[in-house]
């Protein structure tokens, strides 16, 4: 049940944004065994004045940088997360052509009782 939020600079065409959505979903299916149809992903676009990515941690980022935040059940192993980071960078490199330096990923672990996926109930608690 991952929940993804992507932040990026505004101005990319729809096909570019769709490639990001598709690549992220595919990476989650492959690295985290997310079930088919488990897609909860948003993209927020920001003007250059409202989007800043520095070059900290020996990574030189461009204006194409994307910030990806993924909230998951607190059950993923470090190995699964590492595989996810690699697969995201590889797939987004293939399409829409993002450089690995421009793929910033943050995974947040949330206990199962912190989720309600509809109907006002905690399905996993």
Contact 104, 64 (CB under 8 A): no
Calpha distance 12→51 (Å, rounded): 14
Exposure class string for 90-112: b at 16+ Cβ within 10 A, else e? ebbeeebebeebbbbbebeeeee
**Radius of gyration of the chain from Cα atoms?**
15
Q: Which residues are catalytic?
A: 2
């Amino acid at each position: 049940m991952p929940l993804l939020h992507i932040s990026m600079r505004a101005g990319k065409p729809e096909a570019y944004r769709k490639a990001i959505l598709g690549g992220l979903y595919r990476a989650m299916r492959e690295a985290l065994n997310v079930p088919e149809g488990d897609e909860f992903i948003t993209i927020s676009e920001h003007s250059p004045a409202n989007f800043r990515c520095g070059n900290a941690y020996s990574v030189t980022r461009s204006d194409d940088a994307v910030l990806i935040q993924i909230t998951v059940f607190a059950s993923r192993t470090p190995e699964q997360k590492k595989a996810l980071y690699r697969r995201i960078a590889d797939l987004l490199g293939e399409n829409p052509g993002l450089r690995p330096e421009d793929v910033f990923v943050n995974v947040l672990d949330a206990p199962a009782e912190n989720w309600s996926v509809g109907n006002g109930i905690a399905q996993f608690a």
